[in-house]
Every structure is written in structure tokens, then in C-alpha cells.
Amino acid sequence: MKKVIIVGAGIAGLTAGIYARQSGFEVTIYESHTIPGGASTSWRRKGYLFEGGMHWLTGSSPKAPLNKLWREVGALNDSVKVLNRDPFYIFEHEGQTVHLYRDIEKLKRHFLEISPVDRKEILLLCRDLEKFEKIHMPVTDIKGVKVKNKTSMPLSALFKVIPAMPRMAFYSKMSSKEYSERFKNPLLKLLLQNIVGPENNATGLLFTLSTLASGDGGYPEGGSLGMAIRMAKYFEALGGNIQYGEFVSKVSVKNNAASGVIINGEHIPADAVIVTQDTLCAIDTLFYTPICEKWATEMRESTIPMLDTFISLGIEANLSDLPESQFFTLNEPLVCGGVPERVIGLNNYATFKGYAPEGCTAVTTAIINDSYDFWKKCRERGTYEIEKQKLADAYIRILSNKIPRIAGKIAVWDVATPLTYERYLHSFKGSWMTMMGKGDQKNYPSKPETIKNIYFAGQRLMVPGGLPVAAVTGRKAVQYLCKDTNTMFQGSI
């Protein structure tokens, strides 16, 4: 039995660990934090649970190919309830609201009622959604690996992709904001800009909408941390070992092959190492000599990080009568990282059991912008905590003006900046997801050419990033490991 070390107990690391154990490898995961999950996490403050990762899960529907993967790694099972809210979002602007319904026909009627003048674009959008909803993220085997149970993309699924291909090319050339400019109604424009973010590629917008329309994209009860804990328990039940509070400083390489990892100056030997830390950081910091292969150089040059400042509130009021997820424009901008934000989103967990004390509510808001340098300068000047307090106070004031009954009822606030994510995830500038810019979207290999017995997994390797990519790349890394060692993938232990 070959010994495998995995760096990181996020979703990619746990997925890799589970498949490696199922395939007969001795596996230890080293995780610098005290809990599993990585970016898929939640945390408690004074009795309130703040969901810091998942807002919907692609593959939560039994009809999606990814569902089989999530079940194989213990993330989902028959006892896990999946919540599918509808409408998914509500956007409010100057007293008007628009609803993001899952049903395409219902969405079409609603949009046409709001903006008859945009009829042509609305009908075209809905026709494209009907094409895109037939496309699912595939889970396939790599070429040349021996597998116990073959997984491939059926021919029928390939045929479903063909009608959407010209439209995928169309949307890939523009950002969500640029696409929204095709509409005349300001309410529709703002909604379409903010579903995945104005600077994200418009293909991400279409795939998000089509995922929801297909009945996928639900929220598993227990959220991010609950899912990660289920996976960690399953990995340990298979005989895997997770060492928490252990920071891997380097991967040791001898004769152009990985020989183990360095923790607290000690060399821990292994036959193979799977790195699931942010690949962009890992290629520079985890190796004594940075990896300079062509793909690694391209990753350094082309990466546009997705960063956010995450604000959470514990409110001593029951907000269950308000939408679970909404965006709204502000009369007074919220200045975050020196940038005035005119639109904010609000996730309301009032109806979620265990997220707050009885009669109270946990809410969260992600302000997506690149404020890394701002917060870094604050830390260097010693004003970091002061600026976080100022941001929280401004946010509470703005939210209290919108929802007057919460005024004076804030039990706790929490602000996580890109520096928080950097410390917690060891990711590039504290980024938590691959960002889809315009133009060609790059995917990266699971293993380098110049170092043997090293495998990479994680959402940085494929667009658009997120939980599905973390799981798929974790599985793929183990398939390459099995191929290189002539091992049956997902074999008997």
C-alpha cells in the first residue's frame, strides 16, 4: 500500500482522500485549520451561525451527473434535505422589484410584464436558457486509468451540448455587465449584472440561471460546514487520517520526484503528494524552486482573483417574513475598501433551524471587490480593526434604514476581509474562487511535467471554480495517481 499525503482538508482534499482510500492507498490529510472544509465553511459568533461558503450546490439534484459524485464522497445522502427556494433572488430598485424564478416560462412572463420593450432580448435569453439547462458538468474518467466502475459522458449528453455551443461562444465574449446593456429596463439590467457579478463572464450568468431552471442548485441542510464534516467523517470511517492544526510549509522533492512534506521543520515521507491548497500560491510557495512550466506561467499571468469582504450580523429580531436572498440598490453608498458600493446583497437565514437563537436571525452580505491592498495598508498602519468597525457601523446603519425594526437589535457583527481569507485559506490575495473574465477560459493540468508523484486539485484548475470543480479535480488527481501506479481506481480496500 502506497502512502499518500494530501495538503488541505477542503472539499478537493476530502474528495481526493476518499477516492484514494477507496482505491487502497494509505492516506493522511494535513490541514492547517482546526476543522475541515477550507472555503466551504461556516462559523459561530455568540450563538449565531454564519454561512461563509455555499449558497447553492450544483449537483444537489438527483438528475445531475454530479449528484453521484457527491453521494460517493458522502457529501449528500438520503437523509440530507435539500432546500430549493423559489424565487431564487429578489432584486429591488427604487421601489420596484424583480424576481428570479427557477421556471423559465414563469421567468419569461415576469420579465415581459416588467419590460415589454425588452421582449426580443427576453425571448432570446429564455430560449438560450432552454438550451443551457440541458448541459450538465460532466464527470468522466481520464484516459488510460483502470476503473472498477466506468464513468463516461453518454452520447445523448454530447448531442445536447451542440445547440448551445454557438451561444456559449456569444456569451463568452462579454461580461455580465456588458450583456445586461442589451436590455433597456434598469431593473433587469441591475439583476443580470449582479447574479454572478458585473465583471464575471456572461457564460457564468447563463449557466447559473440554467442550473436553477433545471431544478438543480439547492442548498443542502447544514450548509458548507455540515457537508464538509460529513465528508471528513466518511473519510475517517474508510481508515483515512486527518491531522488538524498542521501547516505544510514545503513539499520535499528528491531526484525530480515528491518525497513527502515539511511540517515544523520535520520531513514526513510519502510516495505521492496531492496539493489542494490554492494552486496559484502553491506553485510559488510550497516548493523550494517555484514551478515554472508553461501552464504555471500562464496561471500567474492570467489569474483575475475573486475577492470579497464578508459582513455577518446576528440580529435579535425574526426576519422570516423577508426574502431569503435579495439584492437592493442604496441611496447612500456603502464604502468598502475605499470603493463606494451602490448595490448589496443580503442572505437571510431566519427560517434556517439552528442558525440563530429562537426569534433571532443571522444575515450575511458579501461585498465583491478587490480591496486586498486597502486592508493590507490598514493592517500595516495599525487601523485594521478600526476600519472593520467603521464598515460594520456603516452597514448596520444602512440596513437599519431599510429594515427599521432591526435598529438597536444587533447582537453581534463580524467582518472577514481578503486578509482573513488569505490567513485561513493560504490563497492568492485571499481569493476564494476562480474569476471568469472575458475571452478564453483556461483550465490547468492535474500534474506537472517536471516533478513526479505530485498532483494538484482545487477550484483554481478549472473555470468557473466553486465546489463542483473542487470535487471533480480531487477525483481527477486520484485517477492520475492510480494510472501512474497501475492501481484500480475506487478498488477494494
Q: Which structural domains are found in the chain, ordered by start?
A: 3-47+221-303+437-484 (3.50.50.60), 86-143+150-214 (no CATH), 305-428 (no CATH)
Q: What is the mean pLDDT of residues 445-450?
A: 96
Task: Return the SS3 of 175.
Answer: strand
Pairing of strands 272-275, 325-336: unpaired
* Of 36 and 463, more confident: 36
Residue 179 pLDDT: 96
Is the pLDDT reported for residue 277 higher than 90?
yes
Q: What is the mean pLDDT of residues 94-103?
A: 94
pLDDT grade, residue 151 (50/70/90)? confident
Measured CA to CA, the distance from residue 135 to residue 450 in angstroms comes to: 35
Percent of the chain with pLDDT over 90: 81
List the grid coordinates of 456. Answer: 494538484
pLDDT grade, residue 364 (50/70/90)? very high
Is the pLDDT reported for residue 493 higher than 60?
no
Is the pLDDT reported for residue 352 higher than 90?
yes
Confirm if 97 and 86 have CB atoms less than 8 A apart.
Answer: no
Query: Per residue in 281-304, pLDDT tens?
Result: 999 999 999 999 999 999 998 877
Residue 492 pLDDT: 55
pLDDT grade, residue 137 (50/70/90)? confident
Confirm if 464 and 3 have CB atoms less than 8 A apart.
Answer: no
Is the pLDDT reported for residue 386 higher than 70?
yes
Measured CA to CA, the distance from residue 365 to residue 348 in angstroms comes to: 9
* Of 133 and 435, more confident: 133
List the grid coordinates of 125. Answer: 435569453
Q: What is the mean pLDDT of residues 56-81?
A: 94
Residue carrying the nine cell digits 423577508: 322
Measured CA to CA, the distance from residue 151 to residue 168 in angstroms comes to: 25
pLDDT grade, residue 1 (50/70/90)? low
DSSP 191: H
Residue 293 pLDDT: 96
* Of 454 and 94, more confident: 454
Is the pLDDT reported for residue 387 higher than 60?
yes
Q: What is the mean pLDDT of residues 372-401?
A: 97
Q: Which residues lie across from 339 on neighbouring strands?
A: 336
Q: What is the mean pLDDT of residues 474-483?
A: 98
CA angle 159/160/163 to nearest 5° reads 95
Confirm if 16 and 37 have CB atoms less than 8 A apart.
Answer: no
Q: What is the mean pLDDT of residues 425-449?
A: 80
Confirm if 134 and 164 have CB atoms less than 8 A apart.
Answer: yes
Is the pLDDT reported for residue 306 higher than 90?
no
pLDDT grade, residue 217 (50/70/90)? very high
Q: What is the mean pLDDT of the chain?
A: 93
Query: Per residue in 169-215, pLDDT tens?
Result: 899 889 899 999 999 999 999 999 988 888 888 988 998 999 999 88
Residue 126 pLDDT: 96
Is the pLDDT reported for residue 440 higher than 80?
no
Comparing 240-244, 348-352, 366-370, the range with the smallest average pLDDT is 366-370
Residue 435 pLDDT: 58
List the grid coordinates of 50. Answer: 454564519
Pairing of strands 272-275, 3-7: parallel
Residue 160 pLDDT: 73
Residue 438 pLDDT: 54
258-261 contacts, C-beta under 8 A, 24 or more apart: 258/451, 258/452, 258/453, 258/454, 260/5, 261/5, 261/7, 261/30
User: Which pTM was predicted?
Assistant: 0.95
